Amino acid sequence: MTSGMQTKPYDFVVIGGGLVGLATAWALLQQYPGSSLAVLEKEPQVAAHQSGRNSGVLHSGIYYKKGSLKAQLTAAGRTAMLAFCDEHKIKYEMTGKLIVATREDEVPRLQPLYARGLENGLALEIVGQERIAEIEPYVCALQAIWVPQAGIVDYGHVARALAQDLAQAGAEVHLGAKLQRFVRKNGILHLHTSQGEVQTRVAVNCGGLYSDRLARQTGVDPGLRIVPFRGEYFRLRPEAQHLVRGMVYPLADPRFPFLGVHLTRMTDGEVLVGPNAVFSLRREGYFSRDFDLQDTLESLSYSGFWRLVLPNLKMGLGELMRSGNVRVFARDVQQMMPAVTAEDLLPARAGVRAQAVDKDGKLVEDFRFAHGDGWLHVLNAPSPGATASLAIGQHVAAQAAELVN
Ligand SMILES: Cc1cc2nc3c(=O)[nH]c(=O)nc-3n(C[C@H](O)[C@H](O)[C@H](O)COP(=O)(O)OP(=O)(O)OC[C@H]3O[C@@H](n4cnc5c(N)ncnc54)[C@H](O)[C@@H]3O)c2cc1C
């Protein structure tokens, strides 16, 4: 038993101090007033992984199928995130985003995306070259979709503010507390952590890159596996930052929506370029040299991994070529912004996406949740999970009713 943790069972313990875990904890306190709650985060700070290593985009929700959880929770989450930022004086900017068609064959593909965005309630414009030049003077494209409802924010700042709110509301956020194993006795979960044992009636798995492994330990077959894809970024050198005003995205391949190097002006003025997507040999591996035997074997022994990789070898090799290769990155960017040169690109950080892949090798598109035996699980919350986090939290907390009643 660690000093800061209570001896009697908590009502809720949330595993994971990323945005989804913190937002879920907050929603549980709202939906079950007076309950006792702790968050366990294995790292010395919150948002150490995906939540603090992303593109910082407040997504509009243009890409998601109408009625899907992604479409619903992104719209609700973005509204809630803006209100949260206003309330906590966290800087954000609705810069808008330009999705560009640079080749003739891409132009007709703008239309279905535009229609989907309208279905999702967005006010969009299809714009020609004159208007593109007004919005982003250095972009060279034939046509584009202008999405005014997209913006940027510092999600690390959001996570820290959420953790503070939780502490003020009487919840406990334990840092450096890694869940190692657990047993369930008489309806109480005994969680063994790196800081000692803690008991709870309900535990919530918001373990991000490790959420599938934790779910399997609880006896749930999630029907999917997290396959880690590292996303590496460059940044524009200060002298080139003026080339980008907001966000410039290529038209995504609908089969691999997270592919396609884009440019994003961050709230501090820095312009991120990327990310690519390379299979990572370690779930929390931010460098190409990072390797973990268990993580690698788990991916390589999974039939879904091979069903994803083998038919898409060409695409995978292309992404690998781009890894750390400034010339290849620059060539991609130049298709949209010819003025950017390889000399303008400086190395920047990387993030790893917790992308769930099903047994047939398909990327699990929608957010996915499960519950049972005292556990709630967040099984798939990739991008736009940061934008949607506050709404995801409300959604997960509502499912707790099935466990507490
Ligand atoms: C490269 C990249 C770019 C992205 N860009 C965007 C974007 O622009 N906009 C957007 O909306 N979304 C974006 N996303 C997605 C977004 O970052 C995620 O959807 C979101 O952060 C998921 O939050 P999370 O809390 O589920 O995961 P995480 O932030 O990864 O948190 C999980 C936490 O669980 C902890 N944990 C795991 N196991 C244990 C254990 N056993 N005990 C205790 N703690 C544990 C981990 O340490 C971690 O802190 C991006 C993601 C990546 C990787």
Query: Tens of pLDDT along 272-282?
Result: 998 988 999 99
Residues above pLDDT 70, as percent of the chain: 98
Q: CA 200 to CA 184: how far, in whole Å?
A: 10
Q: CA 360 to CA 368: how far, in whole Å?
A: 16
pLDDT class of 140 with cuts at 50, 70, 90: very high
- Is the Cβ atom of 249 under 6 angstroms away from ligand 1? no
Instruction: Look at ligand 1, atom 27, and give the residue with the nearest C-alpha.
Output: 208
Ligand 1 centroid vs 23 CA: distance in angstroms?
12
| Inter-residue contact 202 to 400 (CB < 8 Å) | yes
Tokens of 360: 């047939």
Q: CA 220 to CA 117: how far, in whole Å?
A: 35
pLDDT class of 1 with cuts at 50, 70, 90: very low
From the CB of residue 7, how many other CB atoms can be counted at a distance below 10 Å?
8
pLDDT for 209 equals 98
pLDDT class of 308 with cuts at 50, 70, 90: very high
Least confident of 56-60, 90-94, 156-160, 220-224: 220-224
pLDDT for 318 equals 76
Q: 10-51+156-223+366-404 with 225-358: one CATH topology?
A: no
Residue 177 Cα: closest atom of ligand 1: 43
Pick the closest to residue 286 from 335, 348, 372, 207 (CA basis): 348
pLDDT digits (tens, 9 = 90+) for 70-93: 999 999 999 999 999 999 999 999
pLDDT digits (tens, 9 = 90+) for 174-222: 999 999 999 999 999 999 999 999 999 999 999 999 999 999 999 998 9
Average pLDDT in the 47-56 region? 97
pLDDT digits (tens, 9 = 90+) for 370-382: 998 999 999 999 9
CA distances from 137 to 141, 245, 335, 337 (A): 11, 9, 14, 9
- Is the Cβ atom of 40 under 6 angstroms away from ligand 1? yes
pLDDT for 36 equals 97
Tokens of 114: 């535009």
- Is the Cβ atom of 151 under 6 angstroms away from ligand 1? no
The 3 state secondary structure assigned to 70-138 is: HHHHHHHHHHHHHHHHHHHCCCEECCCEEEEECCHHHHHHHHHHHHHHHHCCCCCEEECHHHHHHHCCC
pLDDT class of 3 with cuts at 50, 70, 90: low
Element spanning 308, H or E: helix 303-309
From the CB of residue 187, how many other CB atoms can be counted at a distance below 10 Å?
10
Mutate which of 95, 383, 387, 396 for ligand 1 pocket (most atoms within 8 A of beta carbon): 383
- Is the Cβ atom of 50 under 6 angstroms away from ligand 1? yes
Q: What pTM was estimated for this model as a whole?
A: 0.96
Q: CA 165 to CA 281: how far, in whole Å?
A: 36
Residue 256 has pLDDT above 80, yes or no: no
Average pLDDT in the 345-364 region? 95
Tokens of 348: 């920047």
- Is the Cβ atom of 228 under 6 angstroms away from ligand 1? no
Question: How many Cα atoms sit within 13 Å of 78 on the Cβ side?
Answer: 21
Measured in residues, the chain has a length of 405
Ligand 1 centroid vs 42 CA: distance in angstroms?
13
Say which CATH architecture domain 225-358 belongs to: 2-Layer Sandwich (3.30)
Ligand 1 centroid vs 218 CA: distance in angstroms?
21
Q: Which residues pair with 227 in a beta bridge?
A: 355
Least confident of 53-67, 137-151, 312-326, 374-388: 312-326
pLDDT for 405 equals 64
Q: CA 338 to CA 334: how far, in whole Å?
A: 4
Ligand 1 centroid vs 94 CA: distance in angstroms?
22
Residue 366 has pLDDT above 90, yes or no: yes
Mutate which of 40, 46, 54, 395 for ligand 1 pocket (most atoms within 8 A of beta carbon): 54
pLDDT class of 56 with cuts at 50, 70, 90: very high
Residue 259 has pLDDT above 80, yes or no: no
- Is the Cβ atom of 49 under 6 angstroms away from ligand 1? yes
Tokens of 232: 């590496």
| Inter-residue contact 133 to 144 (CB < 8 Å) | no
pLDDT for 313 equals 82
Average pLDDT across the chain, whole number: 94
pLDDT for 2 equals 43
| Domain coordinates in residue numbering, the chain | 10-51+156-223+366-404, 97-148, 225-358
pLDDT for 257 equals 67
Instruction: List the CATH code of the domain at 10-51+156-223+366-404.
Output: 3.50.50.60
